[in-house]
Amino acid sequence: MPQTTNIQKDSSKSINDSIFVLHSNFIKSIENLSTAPSVLYSEIAILGRSNVGKSTLINLLLNNKNLAKSSHTPGKTKLINFFLSSWKKNNIVYDLRFIDFPGFGYAKVSKAQKNAWDKNLSTFLKARDSIKLFIHLIDSRHTMLQIDNEIDLFLKDILRADSSILEVFTKYDKLTKNDFHKLKQQNKICVSYNDKQSVESLRNVVLNKLYGV
């Protein structure tokens, strides 16, 4: 699989080195597995309940605020969206494919539609073995929600030996200083759209999880 382009390897650099986002683009939207793009890259699934900040985080990580549609209306995204991004770290270029998923527990539909949609998502996530990293977004203000517990159990259940789960706490700008420090003390990864450094650090964690760099 053409996942990395090795220009010049320098393993002496630390995990916090700068990552340059060379290029990012939208690939396609799909409804289910049958029309998913062919497997060419390591894929990163961004998951979490509606409105937790999935689309916003993809735009931040991929350095293009117009890629994933962010909305003030929970549950707007119904399709599974694929994006490609090339990142350069220590002269090595990494091609990564990100997948933006509609929120689990999609809000404004009937229970039957919601169940059908959750089943569709589960089928996709179980079968798509090119997903090497599942990023589970949790709202830092509401860290004990039932839906996040369900997502966590589900991901642990489908996790393959060559993939991993990463919990990321969003919207930390809305926390009191005290609550923020509590999360940081537990070594939780916190991001905010007001904090570029938090996004840069997360890019480093992503490359570290996928490639150990």
Binding site for Mg ion (CB under 5 A): 54-55, 77
Burial (CB count <10 Å: 0-12, 13-18, 19+), residue 188: middle
Which of 72, 161, 176, 178 touches ligand GDP (CB under 6 A)? Answer: 72
Which of 47, 52, 62, 135 touches ligand GDP (CB under 6 A)? Answer: 52
Count other C-beta atoms under 10 Å from residue 132's C-beta. 20
Name which of residues 141 to 200 contact ligand GDP (CB under 6 A). 170-171, 173-174, 192-193
Q: Measured from the CB atom, is 193 or 211 closer to ligand GDP?
A: 193
Q: Which residue is nearest to Mg ion (CB)?
A: 55
Query: To the nearest whole angstrom, how small is the minimum distance from the Cβ of residue 164 to ligand GDP?
Result: 21
What does 179 interact with, of Mg ion, ligand GDP, none (CB < 5 to 8 A by kind)?
none
Phi and psi of 176, rounded to 5°?
-70, 160
Q: Which stretches within 12-53 are classed as H helix? A: none
For position 103 contacting ligand GDP by CB under 6 A, the verdict is yes
Amino acid found at 168: V
> CB of 169 within 8 A of CB of 143?
yes
Q: In the numeric block, which tokens belong to residue 26?
A: 């939208």
Q: Measured from the CB atom, is 92 or 191 closer to ligand GDP?
A: 191
Amino acid found at 33: L
What does 42 interact with, of Mg ion, ligand GDP, none (CB < 5 to 8 A by kind)?
none
CA atoms of 118 and 103, how far apart (whole Å):
9
Q: Measured from the CB atom, is 52 or 131 closer to ligand GDP?
A: 52
Of the listed pieces 5-13, 18-26, 48-56, 91-99, which binds ligand GDP according to CB under 6 A? 48-56
Place of tokens 């039932």: 146
CA atoms of 107 and 92, how far apart (whole Å):
41
- SS3 for 15? coil
Q: In the numeric block, which tokens belong to residue 193?
A: 């759209």
Query: To the nearest whole angstrom, how small is the minimum distance from the Cβ of residue 193 to ligand GDP?
Result: 4
CA atoms of 53 and 24, how far apart (whole Å):
19
For position 108 contacting ligand GDP by CB under 6 A, the verdict is no
CA atoms of 44 and 209, how far apart (whole Å):
11
Which of 24, 51, 63, 163 touches ligand GDP (CB under 6 A)? Answer: 51
What is the contact surface with ligand GDP in residues (CB under 6 A)?
A: 48, 50-56, 70-72, 103, 170-171, 173-174, 192-193
